[in-house]
A and B are shown apart, each in its own frame.
Chain A
Amino acid sequence: MSLLEVDNLTQLFSGLCAVSELKLNIEERQLVGLIGPNGAGKTTVFNIVSGFYQPTRGQIRFQGRNLAGLKPHQVSALGITRTFQNIRLWKEMSVLDNILVAQHYHLGYGLGSLFFRTPRYLKREKDIRIRAFELLEIFKIDEFAEEKPTNLPYGMQRKVEIVRALSSGPKLLLLDEPAAGLQATDVNELITLIRWVFDQFDLSIWMIEHQMKVVMSLCSQISVIDFGKLIASGTPEEIQKNHAVIKAYLGDDQI
Protein backbone atom coordinates (compact mmCIF):
# COMPACT_ATOMS: atom_id res chain seq x y z
CA MET A 1 0.00 0.00 0.00
CA SER A 2 1.34 3.38 -0.93
CA LEU A 3 1.35 6.29 1.49
CA LEU A 4 -0.63 8.46 -0.87
CA GLU A 5 -2.62 7.20 -3.82
CA VAL A 6 -4.06 9.74 -6.19
CA ASP A 7 -6.47 8.09 -8.53
CA ASN A 8 -8.16 9.59 -11.56
CA LEU A 9 -8.19 13.02 -9.92
CA THR A 10 -10.12 15.68 -11.84
CA GLN A 11 -10.86 19.23 -10.81
CA LEU A 12 -13.13 21.46 -12.84
CA PHE A 13 -13.54 25.15 -12.10
CA SER A 14 -16.81 25.91 -13.91
CA GLY A 15 -15.65 24.40 -17.17
CA LEU A 16 -11.95 25.05 -16.78
CA CYS A 17 -10.18 21.77 -16.30
CA ALA A 18 -7.43 22.53 -13.76
CA VAL A 19 -6.49 18.93 -13.09
CA SER A 20 -7.43 16.11 -15.38
CA GLU A 21 -7.42 12.40 -14.54
CA LEU A 22 -4.26 12.63 -12.55
CA LYS A 23 -2.94 9.34 -11.25
CA LEU A 24 0.15 8.94 -9.11
CA ASN A 25 1.43 7.23 -5.99
CA ILE A 26 3.80 8.31 -3.28
CA GLU A 27 5.50 5.65 -1.20
CA GLU A 28 6.63 5.93 2.40
CA ARG A 29 10.03 7.57 2.94
CA GLN A 30 10.11 9.04 -0.53
CA LEU A 31 11.17 12.51 -1.63
CA VAL A 32 9.31 13.30 -4.82
CA GLY A 33 8.72 16.32 -6.97
CA LEU A 34 5.88 17.79 -8.99
CA ILE A 35 6.88 20.14 -11.76
CA GLY A 36 5.23 21.76 -14.73
CA PRO A 37 4.99 25.11 -16.51
CA ASN A 38 3.14 28.02 -14.92
CA GLY A 39 -0.57 27.40 -14.57
CA ALA A 40 -0.20 23.65 -15.05
CA GLY A 41 -2.31 22.97 -11.96
CA LYS A 42 0.40 22.00 -9.49
CA THR A 43 -0.81 24.10 -6.60
CA THR A 44 -4.38 22.98 -7.35
CA VAL A 45 -3.23 19.40 -6.79
CA PHE A 46 -1.77 20.41 -3.41
CA ASN A 47 -4.94 22.27 -2.53
CA ILE A 48 -6.99 19.18 -3.25
CA VAL A 49 -4.68 16.89 -1.30
CA SER A 50 -4.73 19.19 1.71
CA GLY A 51 -8.53 19.21 1.62
CA PHE A 52 -8.97 22.82 0.60
CA TYR A 53 -10.81 21.85 -2.59
CA GLN A 54 -13.10 18.89 -2.97
CA PRO A 55 -12.19 17.19 -6.27
CA THR A 56 -14.82 17.01 -8.99
CA ARG A 57 -13.96 13.37 -9.71
CA GLY A 58 -11.52 10.79 -8.56
CA GLN A 59 -10.19 10.04 -5.16
CA ILE A 60 -7.20 10.37 -2.90
CA ARG A 61 -6.26 7.72 -0.37
CA PHE A 62 -3.82 8.41 2.40
CA GLN A 63 -2.55 5.33 4.21
CA GLY A 64 -5.46 3.53 2.62
CA ARG A 65 -8.00 6.03 3.92
CA ASN A 66 -10.18 7.94 1.50
CA LEU A 67 -9.83 11.69 1.99
CA ALA A 68 -13.12 12.54 0.29
CA GLY A 69 -15.25 14.96 2.31
CA LEU A 70 -12.61 15.68 4.94
CA LYS A 71 -12.01 19.27 5.99
CA PRO A 72 -8.45 20.63 5.79
CA HIS A 73 -7.95 20.43 9.56
CA GLN A 74 -8.96 16.77 9.52
CA VAL A 75 -6.55 16.06 6.67
CA SER A 76 -3.81 17.76 8.65
CA ALA A 77 -4.71 15.66 11.69
CA LEU A 78 -4.28 12.50 9.61
CA GLY A 79 -0.71 13.56 8.86
CA ILE A 80 -0.57 15.71 5.74
CA THR A 81 0.75 19.22 6.31
CA ARG A 82 2.05 21.78 3.91
CA THR A 83 3.80 25.07 3.35
CA PHE A 84 2.62 27.79 1.02
CA GLN A 85 4.06 29.38 -2.08
CA ASN A 86 3.71 32.84 -0.57
CA ILE A 87 4.62 32.31 3.09
CA ARG A 88 1.48 32.21 5.20
CA LEU A 89 2.72 32.41 8.75
CA TRP A 90 0.52 34.16 11.29
CA LYS A 91 2.29 37.48 11.13
CA GLU A 92 1.30 39.05 14.43
CA MET A 93 2.12 36.00 16.53
CA SER A 94 5.55 35.06 17.79
CA VAL A 95 7.43 32.26 16.05
CA LEU A 96 6.82 30.08 19.10
CA ASP A 97 3.06 30.71 19.04
CA ASN A 98 3.00 29.89 15.34
CA ILE A 99 4.43 26.49 16.13
CA LEU A 100 2.19 25.95 19.15
CA VAL A 101 -1.01 26.72 17.28
CA ALA A 102 -0.03 24.32 14.50
CA GLN A 103 -0.35 21.53 17.08
CA HIS A 104 -3.91 22.62 17.72
CA TYR A 105 -5.51 19.39 16.68
CA HIS A 106 -3.37 17.40 19.10
CA LEU A 107 -4.01 19.55 22.17
CA GLY A 108 -6.00 16.86 23.92
CA TYR A 109 -7.83 18.97 26.46
CA GLY A 110 -11.34 20.34 26.56
CA LEU A 111 -12.72 23.76 27.34
CA GLY A 112 -13.56 22.68 30.89
CA SER A 113 -9.98 21.86 31.76
CA LEU A 114 -8.86 25.05 29.99
CA PHE A 115 -10.97 27.32 32.20
CA PHE A 116 -10.20 25.46 35.42
CA ARG A 117 -6.50 25.02 34.58
CA THR A 118 -6.63 21.34 35.49
CA PRO A 119 -3.39 19.36 35.79
CA ARG A 120 -4.17 17.77 32.44
CA TYR A 121 -4.38 21.16 30.77
CA LEU A 122 -1.14 22.35 32.35
CA LYS A 123 0.64 19.14 31.40
CA ARG A 124 -0.53 19.23 27.79
CA GLU A 125 0.39 22.91 27.39
CA LYS A 126 3.81 22.14 28.82
CA ASP A 127 4.24 19.12 26.53
CA ILE A 128 3.51 21.01 23.33
CA ARG A 129 5.71 23.86 24.48
CA ILE A 130 8.58 21.46 25.09
CA ARG A 131 8.03 19.91 21.69
CA ALA A 132 7.97 23.33 20.04
CA PHE A 133 11.24 24.32 21.72
CA GLU A 134 12.85 21.02 20.74
CA LEU A 135 11.96 21.69 17.13
CA LEU A 136 13.15 25.28 17.30
CA GLU A 137 16.41 24.10 18.81
CA ILE A 138 17.21 21.42 16.26
CA PHE A 139 16.50 23.94 13.51
CA LYS A 140 18.65 26.48 15.40
CA ILE A 141 15.98 29.14 15.46
CA ASP A 142 15.21 29.03 19.18
CA GLU A 143 16.76 32.47 19.64
CA PHE A 144 13.95 33.90 17.50
CA ALA A 145 11.19 32.17 19.47
CA GLU A 146 9.68 35.41 20.74
CA GLU A 147 10.24 37.31 17.51
CA LYS A 148 7.43 38.08 15.07
CA PRO A 149 7.93 36.28 11.74
CA THR A 150 7.83 39.55 9.80
CA ASN A 151 11.00 40.68 11.58
CA LEU A 152 12.93 37.72 10.19
CA PRO A 153 14.66 37.53 6.79
CA TYR A 154 12.73 35.79 4.05
CA GLY A 155 14.81 32.64 4.09
CA MET A 156 14.30 32.32 7.83
CA GLN A 157 10.55 32.71 7.41
CA ARG A 158 10.62 29.75 5.01
CA LYS A 159 12.40 27.75 7.64
CA VAL A 160 9.85 28.71 10.29
CA GLU A 161 7.05 27.69 7.97
CA ILE A 162 8.67 24.29 7.44
CA VAL A 163 9.08 23.88 11.21
CA ARG A 164 5.45 24.83 11.70
CA ALA A 165 4.39 22.21 9.21
CA LEU A 166 6.55 19.61 10.96
CA SER A 167 5.30 20.40 14.45
CA SER A 168 2.17 18.28 14.24
CA GLY A 169 4.25 15.26 13.25
CA PRO A 170 3.16 14.72 9.63
CA LYS A 171 3.69 11.58 7.55
CA LEU A 172 3.60 13.57 4.33
CA LEU A 173 4.95 17.08 3.97
CA LEU A 174 3.89 19.12 0.97
CA LEU A 175 6.26 21.94 0.04
CA ASP A 176 4.79 24.43 -2.39
CA GLU A 177 7.69 26.16 -4.15
CA PRO A 178 9.98 26.37 -1.12
CA ALA A 179 12.68 28.14 -3.15
CA ALA A 180 10.41 30.88 -4.50
CA GLY A 181 11.85 34.29 -3.76
CA LEU A 182 15.09 33.00 -2.27
CA GLN A 183 18.54 34.22 -3.24
CA ALA A 184 21.01 31.83 -4.84
CA THR A 185 22.96 31.27 -1.63
CA ASP A 186 19.78 30.66 0.33
CA VAL A 187 18.68 28.10 -2.25
CA ASN A 188 21.73 25.97 -1.51
CA GLU A 189 20.95 26.20 2.16
CA LEU A 190 17.36 25.20 1.48
CA ILE A 191 18.47 22.12 -0.43
CA THR A 192 20.60 21.06 2.53
CA LEU A 193 17.71 21.80 4.88
CA ILE A 194 15.17 19.73 2.96
CA ARG A 195 17.62 16.86 2.62
CA TRP A 196 18.28 17.06 6.34
CA VAL A 197 14.56 17.14 7.23
CA PHE A 198 14.03 14.10 5.04
CA ASP A 199 16.82 12.23 6.78
CA GLN A 200 15.87 13.24 10.31
CA PHE A 201 12.11 12.82 10.27
CA ASP A 202 10.13 9.74 9.44
CA LEU A 203 8.13 11.18 6.57
CA SER A 204 7.73 11.57 2.83
CA ILE A 205 8.13 14.91 1.12
CA TRP A 206 6.31 15.99 -1.99
CA MET A 207 7.43 19.28 -3.43
CA ILE A 208 6.46 21.67 -6.19
CA GLU A 209 9.42 23.62 -7.45
CA HIS A 210 10.36 25.71 -10.44
CA GLN A 211 14.07 25.77 -9.81
CA MET A 212 15.35 22.66 -11.53
CA LYS A 213 18.50 22.65 -9.42
CA VAL A 214 16.40 22.02 -6.30
CA VAL A 215 14.16 19.36 -7.81
CA MET A 216 16.84 17.50 -9.70
CA SER A 217 19.23 17.32 -6.76
CA LEU A 218 16.64 16.29 -4.17
CA CYS A 219 13.87 14.20 -5.68
CA SER A 220 14.11 10.52 -6.45
CA GLN A 221 10.94 10.59 -8.53
CA ILE A 222 9.47 13.49 -10.46
CA SER A 223 6.03 13.89 -11.98
CA VAL A 224 5.46 16.47 -14.67
CA ILE A 225 2.04 17.94 -15.37
CA ASP A 226 0.93 20.29 -18.07
CA PHE A 227 -2.60 21.70 -18.43
CA GLY A 228 -3.62 19.46 -15.55
CA LYS A 229 -2.50 16.29 -17.25
CA LEU A 230 0.32 14.03 -16.19
CA ILE A 231 2.76 14.04 -19.11
CA ALA A 232 5.70 12.22 -17.62
CA SER A 233 7.09 10.69 -14.49
CA GLY A 234 10.36 9.08 -13.59
CA THR A 235 13.81 9.73 -12.18
CA PRO A 236 15.42 13.15 -12.71
CA GLU A 237 17.60 11.74 -15.51
CA GLU A 238 14.62 10.31 -17.35
CA ILE A 239 12.68 13.54 -16.99
CA GLN A 240 15.54 15.63 -18.34
CA LYS A 241 15.59 13.55 -21.50
CA ASN A 242 11.84 13.21 -21.87
CA HIS A 243 10.63 14.73 -25.12
CA ALA A 244 7.13 15.58 -23.85
CA VAL A 245 8.60 17.51 -20.92
CA ILE A 246 10.99 19.49 -23.12
CA LYS A 247 8.07 20.27 -25.40
CA ALA A 248 5.89 21.45 -22.50
CA TYR A 249 8.57 23.75 -21.20
CA LEU A 250 10.25 25.00 -24.36
CA GLY A 251 7.70 24.40 -27.08
CA ASP A 252 7.89 22.13 -30.10
CA ASP A 253 11.29 22.17 -31.81
CA GLN A 254 9.56 22.14 -35.19
CA ILE A 255 8.74 25.82 -34.84
Chain B
Amino acid sequence: MKRLSVPILLVILLSILMGLSYFEVIDLYIQTIILFMGINIITSTSLNLVNGNMGEFSCGHAGFIAVGAYVSSILSVALFTKSKVFGAPLLPPELAAYGFPFVLIVGGIASALTGLLIAIPSFRTRDDYLAIITIAANYIIITAIINIDKIGGARGFMGMKRVIFAMEKCAEIPWMILWVFLFTVLTVIIIRRYMTSTYGKGVEAIRQDEISAEIMGVNTNRIKLVTFMISSGLAGIAGGLYAHTIGYVNPKSFDLLKSTEALVMVYLGGMGSITGSILSAVIFTLMLELLRPLQIIKWVAIPLLLIIIMQFRPEGIMGHRELSDIFPKLKKFYKFK
Protein backbone atom coordinates (compact mmCIF):
# COMPACT_ATOMS: atom_id res chain seq x y z
CA MET B 1 0.00 0.00 0.00
CA LYS B 2 2.79 2.38 0.99
CA ARG B 3 4.57 1.59 -2.24
CA LEU B 4 1.49 2.25 -4.36
CA SER B 5 0.09 5.31 -2.64
CA VAL B 6 1.86 7.86 -4.83
CA PRO B 7 1.04 6.20 -8.17
CA ILE B 8 -2.59 5.77 -7.11
CA LEU B 9 -2.78 9.40 -6.04
CA LEU B 10 -1.29 10.50 -9.37
CA VAL B 11 -3.71 8.35 -11.40
CA ILE B 12 -6.65 9.77 -9.43
CA LEU B 13 -5.38 13.32 -9.96
CA LEU B 14 -4.89 12.70 -13.67
CA SER B 15 -8.35 11.20 -14.10
CA ILE B 16 -9.96 14.09 -12.21
CA LEU B 17 -8.15 16.63 -14.39
CA MET B 18 -8.93 14.75 -17.60
CA GLY B 19 -12.54 14.23 -16.55
CA LEU B 20 -13.11 17.85 -15.60
CA SER B 21 -11.62 19.01 -18.89
CA TYR B 22 -13.44 16.42 -20.98
CA PHE B 23 -16.87 17.29 -19.61
CA GLU B 24 -15.96 20.98 -19.76
CA VAL B 25 -16.54 21.52 -16.06
CA ILE B 26 -13.44 23.71 -16.15
CA ASP B 27 -13.10 26.05 -19.08
CA LEU B 28 -10.13 26.43 -21.41
CA TYR B 29 -8.69 29.28 -19.38
CA ILE B 30 -8.43 27.20 -16.23
CA GLN B 31 -7.14 24.26 -18.26
CA THR B 32 -4.38 26.45 -19.62
CA ILE B 33 -3.42 27.57 -16.11
CA ILE B 34 -3.19 23.93 -15.05
CA LEU B 35 -1.04 23.18 -18.09
CA PHE B 36 1.24 26.11 -17.24
CA MET B 37 1.58 24.77 -13.72
CA GLY B 38 2.90 21.50 -15.07
CA ILE B 39 5.23 23.22 -17.51
CA ASN B 40 6.50 25.53 -14.78
CA ILE B 41 7.12 22.57 -12.50
CA ILE B 42 9.36 21.06 -15.19
CA THR B 43 11.09 24.42 -15.68
CA SER B 44 11.75 25.07 -12.01
CA THR B 45 12.76 21.55 -10.97
CA SER B 46 15.17 21.29 -13.89
CA LEU B 47 16.78 24.66 -13.18
CA ASN B 48 16.92 23.75 -9.52
CA LEU B 49 19.21 20.86 -10.42
CA VAL B 50 21.91 23.28 -11.57
CA ASN B 51 21.28 26.30 -9.35
CA GLY B 52 20.15 24.55 -6.21
CA ASN B 53 21.83 21.17 -6.09
CA MET B 54 25.02 21.93 -7.97
CA GLY B 55 25.39 25.48 -6.70
CA GLU B 56 26.26 26.94 -10.08
CA PHE B 57 24.37 29.93 -11.37
CA SER B 58 22.65 29.40 -14.69
CA CYS B 59 20.71 32.44 -15.85
CA GLY B 60 19.69 31.49 -19.35
CA HIS B 61 17.25 28.66 -18.83
CA ALA B 62 14.81 30.19 -21.32
CA GLY B 63 17.37 29.63 -24.07
CA PHE B 64 17.05 25.88 -23.62
CA ILE B 65 13.28 26.13 -23.38
CA ALA B 66 13.38 27.96 -26.72
CA VAL B 67 15.48 25.28 -28.39
CA GLY B 68 13.13 22.54 -27.21
CA ALA B 69 10.06 24.55 -28.17
CA TYR B 70 11.25 25.27 -31.69
CA VAL B 71 12.74 21.87 -32.46
CA SER B 72 9.68 19.94 -31.30
CA SER B 73 7.25 22.41 -32.93
CA ILE B 74 9.01 22.27 -36.28
CA LEU B 75 9.19 18.50 -36.10
CA SER B 76 5.57 17.96 -35.15
CA VAL B 77 4.30 20.47 -37.71
CA ALA B 78 6.45 18.97 -40.46
CA LEU B 79 5.60 15.39 -39.56
CA PHE B 80 1.91 15.51 -38.82
CA THR B 81 0.33 18.54 -40.51
CA LYS B 82 0.07 20.18 -43.85
CA SER B 83 1.84 23.51 -43.64
CA LYS B 84 2.97 26.30 -45.93
CA VAL B 85 6.60 25.86 -44.91
CA PHE B 86 6.98 22.12 -45.01
CA GLY B 87 4.17 21.10 -47.37
CA ALA B 88 2.34 17.82 -46.98
CA PRO B 89 2.70 15.84 -43.75
CA LEU B 90 5.61 13.41 -43.81
CA LEU B 91 3.75 10.90 -41.69
CA PRO B 92 0.01 10.14 -41.63
CA PRO B 93 -1.58 12.66 -39.20
CA GLU B 94 -3.32 9.78 -37.41
CA LEU B 95 0.06 8.97 -35.88
CA ALA B 96 0.25 12.38 -34.17
CA ALA B 97 -0.97 11.06 -30.83
CA TYR B 98 1.69 8.35 -30.74
CA GLY B 99 4.45 10.38 -32.29
CA PHE B 100 4.08 13.40 -30.06
CA PRO B 101 6.08 12.10 -27.06
CA PHE B 102 8.95 11.19 -29.38
CA VAL B 103 8.87 14.64 -30.91
CA LEU B 104 9.05 16.13 -27.41
CA ILE B 105 11.96 13.91 -26.49
CA VAL B 106 13.83 14.88 -29.66
CA GLY B 107 13.29 18.52 -28.64
CA GLY B 108 14.70 17.67 -25.22
CA ILE B 109 17.73 15.97 -26.74
CA ALA B 110 18.37 19.00 -28.96
CA SER B 111 18.27 21.18 -25.85
CA ALA B 112 20.57 18.86 -23.95
CA LEU B 113 23.10 19.02 -26.79
CA THR B 114 22.87 22.81 -26.81
CA GLY B 115 23.47 22.64 -23.08
CA LEU B 116 26.55 20.50 -23.65
CA LEU B 117 27.86 23.00 -26.18
CA ILE B 118 27.53 25.80 -23.62
CA ALA B 119 28.72 23.76 -20.66
CA ILE B 120 32.02 22.65 -22.19
CA PRO B 121 33.59 26.12 -22.27
CA SER B 122 31.81 27.51 -19.21
CA PHE B 123 32.72 24.81 -16.70
CA ARG B 124 36.41 25.42 -17.29
CA THR B 125 35.86 28.59 -15.33
CA ARG B 126 34.15 29.07 -11.99
CA ASP B 127 31.17 30.76 -10.40
CA ASP B 128 29.98 33.95 -12.04
CA TYR B 129 31.25 33.03 -15.47
CA LEU B 130 28.53 30.46 -15.96
CA ALA B 131 25.96 33.18 -15.26
CA ILE B 132 27.52 35.46 -17.87
CA ILE B 133 27.89 32.71 -20.44
CA THR B 134 24.34 31.43 -20.00
CA ILE B 135 22.90 34.94 -20.36
CA ALA B 136 24.94 35.32 -23.54
CA ALA B 137 23.78 31.91 -24.76
CA ASN B 138 20.17 32.90 -24.10
CA TYR B 139 20.60 35.94 -26.35
CA ILE B 140 22.50 34.02 -29.02
CA ILE B 141 19.72 31.43 -29.26
CA ILE B 142 16.99 34.09 -29.47
CA THR B 143 18.90 36.11 -32.05
CA ALA B 144 19.59 33.00 -34.10
CA ILE B 145 15.88 32.14 -34.15
CA ILE B 146 14.91 35.71 -35.09
CA ASN B 147 17.26 35.55 -38.04
CA ILE B 148 16.08 32.25 -39.48
CA ASP B 149 13.31 33.46 -41.72
CA LYS B 150 12.17 29.99 -42.69
CA ILE B 151 10.80 29.31 -39.22
CA GLY B 152 9.10 32.66 -38.98
CA GLY B 153 11.90 34.81 -37.61
CA ALA B 154 10.67 37.50 -35.25
CA ARG B 155 7.04 36.80 -36.23
CA GLY B 156 7.16 33.43 -34.54
CA PHE B 157 6.21 29.98 -35.65
CA MET B 158 2.73 28.52 -35.60
CA GLY B 159 0.66 25.54 -36.62
CA MET B 160 0.97 23.45 -33.50
CA LYS B 161 -2.76 23.72 -32.84
CA ARG B 162 -3.26 21.62 -35.96
CA VAL B 163 -1.09 18.92 -34.38
CA ILE B 164 -3.44 18.93 -31.41
CA PHE B 165 -6.42 18.68 -33.78
CA ALA B 166 -4.74 15.75 -35.50
CA MET B 167 -4.38 14.06 -32.12
CA GLU B 168 -8.02 14.76 -31.32
CA LYS B 169 -9.05 13.00 -34.53
CA CYS B 170 -7.54 9.89 -32.99
CA ALA B 171 -9.47 10.24 -29.77
CA GLU B 172 -11.48 13.14 -28.43
CA ILE B 173 -9.69 13.63 -25.12
CA PRO B 174 -7.80 16.61 -23.65
CA TRP B 175 -4.43 15.45 -24.95
CA MET B 176 -2.30 18.26 -23.65
CA ILE B 177 -3.45 17.67 -20.06
CA LEU B 178 -2.34 14.07 -20.46
CA TRP B 179 1.05 14.89 -21.98
CA VAL B 180 1.90 17.71 -19.61
CA PHE B 181 0.91 15.55 -16.66
CA LEU B 182 2.93 12.55 -17.83
CA PHE B 183 6.05 14.55 -18.62
CA THR B 184 5.84 16.49 -15.36
CA VAL B 185 5.71 13.24 -13.41
CA LEU B 186 8.51 11.83 -15.55
CA THR B 187 10.66 14.89 -14.88
CA VAL B 188 10.18 14.66 -11.15
CA ILE B 189 10.99 10.94 -11.24
CA ILE B 190 14.14 11.53 -13.30
CA ILE B 191 15.40 14.28 -10.99
CA ARG B 192 14.45 12.39 -7.87
CA ARG B 193 16.19 9.22 -9.05
CA TYR B 194 19.25 11.16 -10.10
CA MET B 195 19.58 13.05 -6.84
CA THR B 196 18.99 10.07 -4.56
CA SER B 197 21.61 7.92 -6.28
CA THR B 198 25.18 8.00 -5.06
CA TYR B 199 26.15 9.22 -8.51
CA GLY B 200 23.84 12.21 -8.10
CA LYS B 201 24.99 12.90 -4.57
CA GLY B 202 28.28 13.77 -6.20
CA VAL B 203 26.43 16.89 -7.42
CA GLU B 204 25.78 17.89 -3.81
CA ALA B 205 29.42 17.20 -2.99
CA ILE B 206 30.47 19.58 -5.75
CA ARG B 207 28.33 22.35 -4.30
CA GLN B 208 29.63 21.82 -0.78
CA ASP B 209 33.32 21.45 -1.60
CA GLU B 210 34.34 20.96 -5.17
CA ILE B 211 38.04 20.48 -4.47
CA SER B 212 37.55 17.75 -1.95
CA ALA B 213 34.97 16.13 -4.25
CA GLU B 214 37.51 15.95 -7.07
CA ILE B 215 40.23 14.63 -4.77
CA MET B 216 37.92 12.00 -3.27
CA GLY B 217 37.34 10.52 -6.71
CA VAL B 218 34.33 12.38 -8.08
CA ASN B 219 34.85 13.19 -11.75
CA THR B 220 33.61 16.73 -11.21
CA ASN B 221 33.96 17.90 -14.78
CA ARG B 222 31.95 15.03 -16.18
CA ILE B 223 29.27 15.17 -13.53
CA LYS B 224 28.82 18.90 -14.10
CA LEU B 225 28.36 18.32 -17.82
CA VAL B 226 25.89 15.48 -17.25
CA THR B 227 23.87 17.48 -14.73
CA PHE B 228 23.77 20.52 -16.96
CA MET B 229 22.64 18.36 -19.89
CA ILE B 230 19.86 16.75 -17.86
CA SER B 231 18.74 20.18 -16.72
CA SER B 232 18.73 21.71 -20.19
CA GLY B 233 17.18 18.61 -21.74
CA LEU B 234 14.24 18.75 -19.35
CA ALA B 235 13.91 22.47 -20.04
CA GLY B 236 13.65 21.56 -23.73
CA ILE B 237 10.75 19.22 -22.95
CA ALA B 238 9.08 22.04 -21.01
CA GLY B 239 9.57 24.20 -24.11
CA GLY B 240 7.94 21.63 -26.39
CA LEU B 241 4.93 21.37 -24.10
CA TYR B 242 4.70 25.15 -23.83
CA ALA B 243 4.73 25.57 -27.61
CA HIS B 244 1.97 23.01 -28.10
CA THR B 245 -0.11 24.42 -25.27
CA ILE B 246 -0.21 27.93 -26.71
CA GLY B 247 -0.15 26.77 -30.30
CA TYR B 248 2.48 29.20 -31.46
CA VAL B 249 5.95 30.28 -30.39
CA ASN B 250 7.60 33.64 -30.57
CA PRO B 251 11.30 34.22 -29.88
CA LYS B 252 10.41 37.12 -27.58
CA SER B 253 8.64 34.84 -25.15
CA PHE B 254 11.98 33.14 -24.40
CA ASP B 255 14.00 36.20 -23.47
CA LEU B 256 15.69 36.99 -20.19
CA LEU B 257 12.35 37.70 -18.55
CA LYS B 258 11.41 34.05 -18.96
CA SER B 259 14.76 33.01 -17.48
CA THR B 260 14.07 35.35 -14.57
CA GLU B 261 10.72 33.70 -14.02
CA ALA B 262 12.48 30.36 -13.75
CA LEU B 263 14.99 31.82 -11.29
CA VAL B 264 12.24 33.36 -9.16
CA MET B 265 10.52 29.98 -8.95
CA VAL B 266 13.72 28.23 -7.86
CA TYR B 267 14.58 30.79 -5.21
CA LEU B 268 10.99 31.06 -3.99
CA GLY B 269 10.74 27.31 -3.55
CA GLY B 270 14.09 26.80 -1.93
CA MET B 271 17.42 25.78 -3.35
CA GLY B 272 17.92 22.09 -3.87
CA SER B 273 14.40 21.11 -2.84
CA ILE B 274 12.28 19.24 -5.39
CA THR B 275 9.04 19.64 -3.46
CA GLY B 276 9.93 23.29 -2.92
CA SER B 277 10.29 23.84 -6.65
CA ILE B 278 6.99 22.09 -7.35
CA LEU B 279 5.22 24.12 -4.71
CA SER B 280 6.67 27.40 -5.89
CA ALA B 281 5.88 26.62 -9.54
CA VAL B 282 2.22 26.15 -8.60
CA ILE B 283 2.14 29.27 -6.41
CA PHE B 284 3.99 31.31 -8.99
CA THR B 285 1.68 30.31 -11.84
CA LEU B 286 -1.36 31.24 -9.77
CA MET B 287 0.23 34.50 -8.75
CA LEU B 288 1.02 35.45 -12.35
CA GLU B 289 -2.66 34.96 -13.20
CA LEU B 290 -3.90 36.84 -10.15
CA LEU B 291 -1.58 39.74 -10.90
CA ARG B 292 -2.64 39.85 -14.55
CA PRO B 293 -4.87 42.95 -14.03
CA LEU B 294 -1.71 44.83 -12.99
CA GLN B 295 -0.35 44.28 -16.50
CA ILE B 296 3.15 45.68 -16.81
CA ILE B 297 3.32 46.55 -13.11
CA LYS B 298 3.38 42.79 -12.58
CA TRP B 299 7.02 42.96 -13.50
CA VAL B 300 7.61 45.36 -10.67
CA ALA B 301 5.76 43.16 -8.23
CA ILE B 302 7.57 39.92 -9.08
CA PRO B 303 11.17 41.15 -8.81
CA LEU B 304 10.09 42.94 -5.64
CA LEU B 305 8.94 39.59 -4.34
CA LEU B 306 12.37 38.18 -5.13
CA ILE B 307 14.01 40.96 -3.13
CA ILE B 308 11.67 40.33 -0.22
CA ILE B 309 12.46 36.59 -0.29
CA MET B 310 16.19 37.28 -0.32
CA GLN B 311 15.82 39.68 2.62
CA PHE B 312 13.64 37.67 4.92
CA ARG B 313 13.96 34.06 3.90
CA PRO B 314 17.04 33.65 1.70
CA GLU B 315 16.72 29.86 1.75
CA GLY B 316 13.26 29.99 0.12
CA ILE B 317 10.09 28.25 1.27
CA MET B 318 11.72 24.86 1.79
CA GLY B 319 15.46 25.54 1.64
CA HIS B 320 17.30 22.27 0.96
CA ARG B 321 14.59 20.27 2.66
CA GLU B 322 11.85 18.14 1.18
CA LEU B 323 8.26 18.01 2.34
CA SER B 324 9.00 14.71 4.09
CA ASP B 325 11.77 16.36 6.12
CA ILE B 326 9.34 18.94 7.45
CA PHE B 327 6.51 16.46 8.06
CA PRO B 328 8.29 13.19 8.85
CA LYS B 329 4.94 11.49 9.40
CA LEU B 330 4.29 11.70 5.67
CA LYS B 331 6.92 9.01 5.15
CA LYS B 332 4.55 6.48 6.66
CA PHE B 333 2.10 6.98 3.85
CA TYR B 334 4.24 6.88 0.79
CA LYS B 335 7.37 5.53 -0.67
CA PHE B 336 8.45 7.41 -3.72
CA LYS B 337 11.42 6.39 -5.76
Contacts and interface: CB of A to CB of B under 8 A. Distances in A.
A74 B219 CA distance: 8
A81 interface: yes
- Which of B199, B201, B214, B215 has the largest count of A CB atoms less than 10 A from its CB? B215
A165 to B, nearest CB: 8
A91 B193 CA distance: 22
Most A CB atoms within 10 A — which of B190, B216, B337?
B216
B198 A125 contact: yes
Nearest to A167: B216
Contact of A103 (B190, B211, B217, B219): B217
A219 B320 CA distance: 44
B212 A107 contact: no
B213 interface: yes
A216 interface: no
Q: Taking chain B's interface residues, is the majority helix, strand, or loop, or is none over half, making it mixed?
A: helix
Contacts of B208: 90-93
A52 interface: yes
Nearest to B230: A111
Contacts, number: 97
Contacts of A88: 209, 211-212
B125 interface: no
Given A107-B198, A125-B197, A102 B204 contact: no
B217 A168 contact: yes
B226 interface: yes
* A-B pairs with lowest CB-CB distance, top 5: A105-B217, A76-B217, A88-B212, A90-B208, A102-B216
Interface of B: 190, 193-194, 197-202, 204-205, 208-209, 211-221, 226, 320, 337
19 contacts: A52-B214, A71-B221, A73-B215, A84-B212, A88-B211, A90-B213, A92-B204, A100-B198, A101-B205, A104-B199, A104-B205, A104-B217, A105-B219, A114-B200, A117-B337, A121-B197, A164-B216, A165-B216, A168-B217
